[in-house]
A and B are shown apart, each in its own frame.
Chain A
Amino acid sequence: MVDQDINKKLDTVQMMVNMGPQHPSTHGVFRMVLAVDGERIVDVEPHIGYLHRGSEKLCEGEIYVQIVTLFDRLDYLSNLNNEMVFCRAVEKLMELEIPERAEYIRVILCELNRVASHLLFIGTFGLDVGAMTPSMYMFRDREKIQSMFEAVTGARMMHNYIRIGGIKNDVPDDFIHRMKSLIVELKKGLEEADKLLSFNEIFLARTKNIGTMSAKMAIEYGVSGPSLRASGVPIDIRKDHPYSIYDRFDFGIPIGEIGDCWDRYYVRLEEVRQSISIMEQALYQLPDGDTITPTRFLLRPPKGEVYVRGENPRGEIGVYMISDGTDKPYRVKVRPPSFCNLMTIKDLLIDTYVADAVVILGSLDIVLGEVDR
């Protein structure tokens, strides 16, 4: 009798909470309007588009060699992977042969790019759950990779290094030597992060069984990459539809069990180890030879359309390109992995706590530049 009265008096009211677009935990300009009942989220309205630059439309007005730079700017953490997928689309349509050495250097740098991206994820994900130290360690290691990129490509971020037909220039003479010492340092840094964060009591409490994504839901939404594999679906484009020279390497696909935030974190950490293994094998096999198949500056691929898939650190990036035989593509459409992964946010957030919203969003590892294009 008394209890019922108390419940009536303590009846809660739904409240709207606005998160973003300028919020440090949204990893960019992403806005969510949360309807909360106390601490519990009952409804979510995600808003994107603050960074929409019309990259796909811009592609229609540029010649093929210029578009490579636009793909750099889609995703600031996986520039080389993005460049590579566009170059592969043009090469596929033109049926260009790429020199062996260029393929190897592409793979080494793309895997290095993946490592850099995942290291940043580990750091910022730690930051999302309140661990400061891993982010310092990971930024330190990522900086070493960035200076390696600077030595090879000439730029820290916007490389424009992978070109249609090969790569811009050969690597420096001490490349193999520097890579080997870099790999040793990366391995050491990764073990540090693993010991510091992965099985930390507080970290486990914040991430275990939070934001669980079932395999069925992930496939329905078209989730790809580590977020899909964390749900236990072993799909990796590098293995299932090997492109470039990925079929020559021996590497595993880490998968998770239930698809919670911790699984998504640990799959990425494990992927760094696999990427390092690929780099070691590629460095060992690295052949001599040319680095580019010469092509004309004004490329005119034959008429036709092509869809190319590639494995980006965030998931599966696809390029659908239609050529009308002129020097500019008729249409370029990107399948942005972050866009599909972010679509699940509504289903993941409903019935969780506000404090977990930041963790779940962080675990998806999105880059808003690519979501909005």
Chain B
Amino acid sequence: MAEKDKAEEAIEPINRLDAKSIALQAMLPGIVSDFKVTINTAFDLVVVAVEPEEIKQICLLLRDNDETAFDYLLLLCVVDYEDYLQVVYHIYSTSLKHTLVVKTNVSPEEPSLESVTPVWKGADWYEREAHDLFGVSFNAHPSLSPLLLYEGFEGFPGRRNYEMPEYKEW
């Protein structure tokens, strides 16, 4: 018995959810039941992994639903896991004060996603940055011109396989 308990403890992911996140975790499956999602936790936040095709609809749903009311985009970033690129959205509700992480995976060859700028205007520059550094293209984005890099820059410096140009002293 004791051994079994120990084994279960070992595989248990770190879970430090506060009351708001626990409530959110319980409420979410009912709200996103129309979509193919997996709900998980990462440290103190609830994580929803979604299909890349459905990202915009889910974001719209999460924003407009009165129980979730995620009206504030905290952070949009891309993480390169070599086999796939993960686009991570940290969203927050200014009225209900809870936070949620939405994740979706895209392939590194031709990564493309639906833009969430119609949902949160604040996604604009984050998506341009992701396009610059990771080469993720966002459909229906107003303009994906280079933001942080200069025009005509080759390669995606945010990715892990990007080779830094060698520094030469003249």
Q: Which A residues form the contact surface with B (CB < 8 A)?
A: 48-49, 52, 54, 56-57, 60, 92-93, 219-223, 233, 235, 240-241, 302, 304-307, 309, 316, 318, 320, 322, 330-331, 333, 335, 339-340, 343, 372-373
Contact = CB atoms under 8 A, between A and B. Distances in A.
Contact of A320 (B71, B77, B147): B77
Given A48-B148, A343-B125, A222 B72 contact: yes
Interface stretch (B3-11, B51-59, B116-124): B116-124
A56 B42 CA distance: 21
Contacts of B77: 320, 331, 333
Interface size class of B (residues with CB under 8 A): 20 to 34
B108 interface: no
A307 B43 CA distance: 9
Contacts of B50: none
A320 B88 contact: yes
Contacts of A233: 94
B170 interface: no
Interface in B94-148: 94, 97, 99, 101, 120-122, 124-125, 133, 146-148
A208 B88 CA distance: 39
Given A241-B97, A343-B122, A318 B74 contact: yes
Given A307-B45, A320-B75, A331-B79, A240 B97 contact: yes
Contacts of B48: none
A49 B148 contact: yes
Contacts of B75: 307, 318, 320, 333, 335
B14 interface: yes
B149 A93 contact: no
Nearest to B47: A305
13 contacts: A49-B146, A52-B148, A52-B149, A54-B157, A221-B121, A222-B74, A306-B44, A307-B45, A307-B90, A333-B77, A335-B74, A340-B125, A372-B148
Contacts of A316: 74
B150 A49 contact: yes
A322 B148 contact: no
Contacts of B99: 307
A304 B14 contact: yes
Contacts of B133: 57
Given A304-B42, A307-B75, 10 more contacts: A49-B147, A220-B121, A223-B122, A235-B94, A241-B97, A302-B14, A307-B74, A309-B74, A331-B77, A331-B80
A372 B133 CA distance: 12
Given A49-B149, A49-B150, A331-B79, A219 B43 contact: no
A221 B149 contact: no
A54 B165 CA distance: 14
B96 to A, nearest CB: 11
A222 B94 contact: no
